[in-house]
């Protein structure tokens, strides 16, 4: 059986248990056959147990059985709601399975462009895995190209672009967009990754990929129209929390470094979001809007 077919079975089991909450193996098997997962063949207990182990190892999802009812359920649903690599893999494979089954209606599916720079992912991931330095060619927009030796620390996907977080020869942490790279190769030079370094912690105070010296701020925004539900269902930052809600608006707070990435995201929603505090950020937003108006 092809690997893609096996992954499809994993995704089916996860999504079915998410939708139905709890099922006995007999109930799960009946749905399995009704959906024709493997041409209507039954789900054997031995196969199900192997799939449970694989689902735990690949996605970090725990499927347990209630001793009294013998019903299976996902005991750590939070694993499907975080920003971990396991969650991203699950989402990617789930979408892949849906699209593969939808070839007949492909002309009626409207997708975003695939992330740029993916041709360098394999090389970078191998360098990260082996702690080897990378030699890369890089060209910023409207600037001369250059070559650089860097220590690859992490990869981040943001707004359909891949970015490399790396330590350069000047001992500075820098972000490099993969779609601006002109060449990439692994060197024989190794580097020592700091034992206490966490990419998640490095980006935790920011939105996006800009990680400059912008001071931390307690930002309060007022969401109008449809925006409260938009922010509730798709929070902008892990620090987001709801403060006050009325029929006309809802206030949200963020503890964040308000870089241009974050302010740009707020501006993207037009008059649906208004910055209330701090005052200096509110003034800065007004200045940005005023400059935009001059272009029209």
Over residues 238-259, mean pLDDT: 96
77-112 burial: b if 16+ Cβ within 10 Å, else e: eebbeeeeeebeebeebbeebeeeeeeeeeeeeeee
d(CA 92, CA 65): 27
> For 7-22, what is each residue's pLDDT tens digit?
888 888 988 998 898 9
Q: What is the pLDDT of residues 152-164, one digit of tens each?
A: 999 998 988 899 9
Please report the pLDDT score of residue 5 as a whole number: 78
pTM value is: 0.73
Average pLDDT value over all residues in the chain: 89
Share of the chain above pLDDT 90, in %: 63
How wide is the angle at C-alpha 223 spanned by C-alphas 221 and 228, nearest 5°? 125
Return the higher-pLDDT residue of 58 and 268: 268
119 compared with 259, residue with greater pLDDT: 259
Query: What whole-number distance in Å separates Cα of residue 58 and Cα of residue 35?
Result: 24
pLDDT at 62 over 90: yes
Strand, helix or coil at 195?
Answer: coil
- Mean pLDDT, rounded, for 223-239: 94
pLDDT of residue 142: 80
């Amino acid at each position: 059986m092809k690997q893609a077919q096996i992954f499809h079975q994993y995704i089916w089991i996860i999504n079915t248990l998410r939708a139905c909450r709890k099922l006995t193996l007999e109930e799960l098997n009946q749905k399995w056959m009704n959906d024709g997962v493997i041409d209507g063949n039954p789900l054997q207990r031995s196969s199900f147990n192997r799939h449970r182990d694989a689902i735990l190892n690949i996605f970090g999802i725990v499927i347990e059985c209630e001793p009294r009812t013998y019903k299976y359920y996902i005991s750590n649903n939070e694993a499907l709601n975080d920003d971990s690599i396991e969650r991203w893999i699950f989402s990617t494979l789930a979408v892949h399975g849906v699209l593969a089954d939808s070839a007949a209606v492909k002309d009626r599916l409207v997708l975003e462009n695939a992330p740029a720079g993916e041709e360098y992912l394999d090389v970078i991931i191998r360098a990260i895995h082996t702690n080897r330095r990378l030699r890369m060619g890089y060209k910023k927009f409207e600037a001369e190209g250059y070559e650089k030796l860097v220590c690859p620390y992490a990869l981040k996907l943001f707004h359909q672009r891949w970015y490399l977080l790396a330590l350069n020869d000047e001992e500075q942490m820098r972000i490099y967009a993969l779609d601006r790279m002109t060449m990439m190769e692994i060197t024989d030079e190794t580097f020592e990754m700091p034992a206490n370094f966490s990419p998640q912690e490095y980006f935790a105070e920011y939105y996006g990929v800009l990680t400059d010296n912008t001071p931390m701020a307690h930002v309060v925004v007022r969401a109008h129209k449809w925006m409260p539900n938009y922010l509730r269902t798709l929070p902008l930052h892990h620090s987001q929390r709801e403060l006050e809600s009325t029929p006309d608006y809802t206030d949200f707070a963020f503890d964040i470094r308000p870089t241009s990435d974050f302010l740009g995201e707020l501006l993207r929603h037009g008059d649906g979001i208004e910055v209330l505090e701090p005052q200096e950020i509110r003034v800065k937003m007004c200045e940005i809007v005023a400059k935009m108006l001059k272009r029209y």
